[in-house]
Every structure is written in structure tokens, then in C-alpha cells.
Amino acid sequence: MFSRSALRSLAQDLRLTTPSAIPSAPLPQRVFLHQAASLRNAQPQSSTQSSSLNPDTPLSATPQAQDTQPEIQQGFKAPSGNPTTTPNTPADTFIPQTRNHIPIEKQPVPPTFDSPLKVTQSLMSRLPHLVGQTPHYIVAELHARPYLLTEGDHLRLPFLMPKVKPGDVLRFNRATALGSRDFTLKGTPHVDERLFECRVRVTGVESEPLRIKEKTKRRQRHVKKALSKHRYTVMRVMDVKVKTPDELLQEGTQVVEDAEDSPEIETRA
């Protein structure tokens, strides 16, 4: 679920290993940093290669250790697209911009499926009805708690999610139900994550007002005050999308005969 966490840990790692007091010098320093970064990446590549990866951005657009221009992340490409690309990952001196900047062992691991998705005949025949009726809702599960979400919803998790920061995009991949006004796809107990897309964006951290619980004991004047002020991660649902049968077939989905415990689309009575 947290494809981002690996990336975060990388950032932490860099912060630990890199001394913050790198003297800021002009161009040679930057070249050095490029090499240092690629050394750390354990991917031998020269600085020219890494800069030629996106020819759109000139060299100076990649923020480096020296005090360059205001850092402009490639936020335009990242937020809507792949959750694995990071719009803004902090590091003390070096901010990974493309995937090549990140060591392989630290990259977010795409889910590996040992077999293609199998969809029953009846599900495939009724999926167009579900896809064609908008809007959709999803009952996404996170730490075994269900959240009924639609697009644009504001979600305040009942806990502080570690290793995320505002602007990160997460993809919820565990759902118990997907539906529209008249149709519901119920999972057994979960819907396969290749059938839908649900992305949320972390928008910040909220906290509740300070709560004071007065604890008293008998025959004692002393009142103990227990304070609590929890912090919660706040998110916004970016999209809830059910994949069309065409998309599923393109991704190599196999259509199989109906089975006993396969998910079904139910119609409202």
C-alpha cells in the first residue's frame, strides 16, 4: 500500500549519510555531486547521461546542493500520473528527480502478480454497466478499517501515517466493494486491485484540540489530569475509477468460467 515508504526511507538515508555542511561552490561542485549521487545509486552513469534523461529541463532546473534558482519540481508530470514517481522528495543535499537517481533496492516495488487476472464470464458481461454509470464509490480498507470514498472526498485517517508528507500520492489497493448507483461489485472478501484505481493525495497533518481527562481517586484531593492531543493524516481522494473491460483485456486478463467464490456485480433491487 505504501509504495512511497521506500522512497521516504531513502530520503532519510541520504539525510543521515550526507553531511549537511557541503561547501557550496559553483559548477565543479555540482558535477561532483552528480557523480556522488550516481555512485550512491550504484548505477554507473555520468552526469551527462542523467541530464539528458529529460531534455525539456535545462541543467539548471535540477536543484542541487548549491543555492540555485527556486526549486521547481516536475510537479506537472508527477501528481496525476504514476504514484511511484515522487513530485518532491526531500534530501539534505540532493533531491532525486527521476527514477534513475534512486538506487534499485530503494525504489518502490511494483506489485508482482504471478498469474494474470482471472475474471469470470458473468462479471465481464456486467462490468460495462458498472463502468458506464457514474459516479463511483469505493469501500477501501486501510489497516482493516473500511472507508467509503468518492472522488474529491476529504479523508482524515484516525492515525498519523508515517513517512508521508504533504503532496504525496498513495494508491489504495484493497477494496471490499466498488459501486455506482445501481451496481455493486463485491469482493470475496477483497476486490482484485487490478480492477480499479483509487488514488489519494496527502494534504497535511491535522490534530484535535487538547483533551483533558480528569482522573480522580477516592478519598484523595489530588486530581490527575491526563492530556491527549493526537495527530492525524489528512488526505484527499483524487480519483475513483473502475477499469473498463477493454482496458482489462489489454492488460492480459483471462476470462474464465464462473466459480463459487468469484466476485459478483449485484444489481439493486
Partner 1 sequence: MKRLQLHRWSSSVLSPRARTGSRVQQHLHSGVRHQSTASPLQSEASSQEEPFLEEAPVDEGLARHIRSIRFKRPEIQYPSPPVEAARSSAKLAALHARLYLPSRLPLETLARTLVDASADPNPHFNNESLVTLGHDLLTYYTSEHLLCTYPRLPLAVIFSSMYAYAGPKSLAAMAKEWGVEAATLPGGRLTQFRRIDPGAEVPGSAEKREPRQQMGRKIFYDNEYGDAPSGPVDRNAGVSAEQASSDFVRAVMGAIYLHAGRPAAKRFFEQHFLSRQLNISSLFSFSQPARDLNRLCARENFEQPVAKIISETGRRSRSPVFVIGIFSGQDKLGEGAGSSLFEGRERAAVAALKGWYLYSPLSVRVPSSMEEEGAAPWKPVHVDLGEVIV
Partner 2 sequence: MPVQALRTVTAARNGVGAFILQCKRLDFHYCDWAGSSRGMNEFLRQNLPAFAREHPQIEIRVAPRPRKHPIIRGHFVNGKDKTICVRNLEPSDILKQTLLLKDASGEKLKRTKKPVTSTNDSVRGIWSPYHGDLRGV
Give me the residues that bind partner 1 (CB under 8 A), please.
57-61, 67-73, 75-76, 79-80, 87, 131-132, 134, 152
Instruction: For residue 98, state whether it binds partner 2 (rule: CB under 8 A).
Output: no
Pick what 157 binds: partner 1, partner 2, none; C-beta below 5 to 8 Å, kind-dependent: partner 2
Q: Which residue has the cell 473502475?
A: 242
CA–CA separation, 269 and 50 (whole Å): 58
Taking CB under 8 A as the criterion, which residues in 239-258 touch partner 2? none
Instruction: For residue 185, state whether it binds partner 2 (rule: CB under 8 A).
Output: no
- Please identify which residue in 27, 59, 71, 252 interacts with partner 2, judged by CB under 8 A: 71
Instruction: For residue 269, state whether it binds partner 2 (rule: CB under 8 A).
Output: yes
* Nearest by Cα to 166 from 78, 53, 56, 87: 87
What is residue 76's three-state secondary structure?
A: coil
Q: Of the two residues 39 and 59, which places its CB atom closer to partner 1 in the complex?
A: 59
All three cell numbers of 41, joined, read 545509486
* Nearest by Cα to 240 from 191, 184, 208, 197: 197
Pick what 59 binds: partner 2, partner 1, none; C-beta below 5 to 8 Å, kind-dependent: partner 1
Dihedrals phi, psi of 80, to nearest 5 degrees:
-80, -20
Instruction: For residue 209, state whether it binds partner 2 (rule: CB under 8 A).
Output: yes
Pick what 57 binds: partner 1, partner 2, none; C-beta below 5 to 8 Å, kind-dependent: partner 1
CA–CA separation, 164 and 7 (whole Å): 10
Instruction: Choose the binding region for partner 2 from 32-40, 121-129, 179-187, 219-227 (rule: CB under 8 A).
Output: 179-187
Rounded to the nearest whole angstrom, what is the least distance from the CB of residue 255 to partner 2 in the complex? Answer: 28
CA–CA separation, 119 and 248 (whole Å): 9
Instruction: For residue 234, state whether it binds partner 2 (rule: CB under 8 A).
Output: yes
| The residue type at 93 | T
All three cell numbers of 261, joined, read 467464490
Q: Of the two residues 88 and 120, which places its CB atom closer to partner 1 in the complex?
A: 88
Instruction: For residue 228, state whether it binds partner 2 (rule: CB under 8 A).
Output: no
Contact 164, 202 (CB under 8 A): yes
Instruction: For residue 83, state whether it binds partner 2 (rule: CB under 8 A).
Output: no
Contact 18, 94 (CB under 8 A): yes
All three cell numbers of 144, joined, read 482493516
- Please identify which residue in 19, 70, 110, 162 interacts with partner 2, judged by CB under 8 A: 70
Q: Which residue has the cell 543521515?
A: 16
Pick what 132 binds: partner 1, partner 2, none; C-beta below 5 to 8 Å, kind-dependent: partner 1
Bridge partners for 170 per DSSP: 200
Q: Of the two residues 15 and 236, which places its CB atom closer to partner 1 in the complex?
A: 236
